Amino acid sequence: MRIMADFHTHVVDHYDILINRKIPLIGARRHTGFFQPKNRIEEKLLKHSFLHDENTLVGIINFDDERAEKMLDVLKKIAETEGFEVIDRNYYASFKKDNSNVTFVSGQEVPTERGHVLLVGAGSNTESRDFDYVLKEAKNEKDSLILGDHVLGPGGMSLQERDIEKYAKYFDAINIWDGNFGEKYHSMQKELARGFGIPIYAASDSHTIKGILSCATILKNVDFSAENFKGSLRTSLIEVAEEDLIYGSNGFMEKYRHLSSVVYTIAGLKNGFLVRDS
Ligand SMILES: [Zn+2]
Ligand SMILES: [Zn+2]
C-alpha cells in the first residue's frame, strides 16, 4: 500500500511558543477569534489530508505545547460526527472515508542545545534540552522515531555533522528536503545521510494547512496495528529511495511565519481580534 507521509508539520503557527515562550499571554495557547473559528483548523486539516492521496500520514508536531494531542481529540470528534471510521491508538489515529485513509501521529520538535531533533510517536513531550539525554530517552524509553530535521542548517537550531556522526545509530532517518531549508542544503544533507548509512525522508515543516504534504515521502507497507506501527515505519524508511520523495515547496513565506505570528498574535490580543482559547 502506498502512503504519502509528511512527518513534520506544525499545522498552524498560533500554537507556537518556541519563540513566544517568554512573551506573556502567548505561551502554549491556541488562539481563536474572528479569523479562526473553533474547530475550523481541524476541519480544514482533515479535508486537506484526505485530498492529497488515497492514503496519507501526517505528523502533527508540538514545540513546548500539546497541539498534537489537542488537535487529535478534535479530529476524532469531527470524524465521529461525520461518520468516518476511526481507529484511535492514543498517540496516533486513523480515519477512513470511502476508500481514503488519513493517519495523524503526534510528535515533538525538541530544541536541544545542539539543534532541533524531531521525535515522532513518543506519546508525550520531553522536557529535556540535553541532546544526549533526549536521544537516549527517545530510543530507550519512549521508542519514538528519531528524525534529523533540517540538519546542517543554521547553527544553533540545526544539528551539524559531528552531532550526526556521534549518534548515527540513533537516527531513523535524515531529512534531505523540506519547504524551508531545502534548496541550499539538499545535496549536503543527502551526502551526510549516505555517508552514515542513514535513511532519508522529505517533509514540509509546514505552519499552514495548505503546505502540509507539499513535501512528503512515499512509504510502502506501513502496518497500522498498535504493536507494529513504529517498527513498520522504521522498516519503510529504510526502503525509501530518492524517487520516493516529493520535492515540493510550501512557499517562501513559511520561513517568516514564526516571526510574523508573534507580531500578529500580540497585536491581535491587544486589539481584541484574537482571544485566548479557554
Ligand atoms: Zn526546526
Ligand atoms: Zn518544525
How many whole angstroms from 62 Cα to the centroid of ligand 2?
9
How many whole angstroms from 200 Cα to the centroid of ligand 1?
17
How many structural domains are present in the chain? 1
CATH of the domain at 178: 3.20.20.140
pLDDT tens by residue, the chain, 278 residues: 999 999 999 887 655 333 333 444 444 345 444 555 567 788 989 999 999 999 999 999 987 778 899 899 999 999 999 999 999 998 999 999 988 999 999 999 999 999 999 999 999 999 999 999 999 999 999 999 999 999 999 888 899 999 999 999 999 999 999 888 878 899 999 999 999 999 999 999 988 888 999 999 999 989 999 999 999 999 999 999 999 999 988 766 665 654 455 456 566 556 655 555 54
Per-residue pLDDT at 159: 97
Of the listed ligands, the closest to the CA of 211 is 2
How many whole angstroms from 209 Cα to the centroid of ligand 1?
17
Per-residue pLDDT at 186: 93
How many whole angstroms from 159 Cα to the centroid of ligand 2?
13
Q: Which domain holds residue 100?
A: 2-276
Of the listed ligands, the closest to the CA of 6 is 2
CA 192 vs. chain centroid, Å, equals: 22
Per-residue pLDDT at 63: 79
Tell me if 90 sits within 8 A of 123, measured CB to CB: yes
Taking the C-alpha atoms of residue 118 and residue 216, their distance in angstroms, rounded to an integer, is 15
How many whole angstroms from 232 Cα to the centroid of ligand 1?
25
Q: Which three cell numbers stand for residue 139?
A: 530510543
Per-residue pLDDT at 115: 93
Taking the C-alpha atoms of residue 205 and residue 12, their distance in angstroms, rounded to an integer, is 11
Residue 181's alpha-carbon distances to 81, 189, 197, 208, 214, in angstroms, are: 39, 10, 21, 16, 14
Residues with Cβ within 5 Å of ion ligand 1? 116
Per-residue pLDDT at 9: 94
Taking the C-alpha atoms of residue 165 and residue 186, their distance in angstroms, rounded to an integer, is 18
How many whole angstroms from 52 Cα to the centroid of ligand 2?
21
Residue type present at position 21: R
Taking the C-alpha atoms of residue 200 and residue 209, their distance in angstroms, rounded to an integer, is 24
Tell me if 122 sits within 8 A of 92, measured CB to CB: no
Tell me if 30 sits within 8 A of 277, measured CB to CB: yes
How many whole angstroms from 173 Cα to the centroid of ligand 2?
15
Per-residue pLDDT at 209: 87
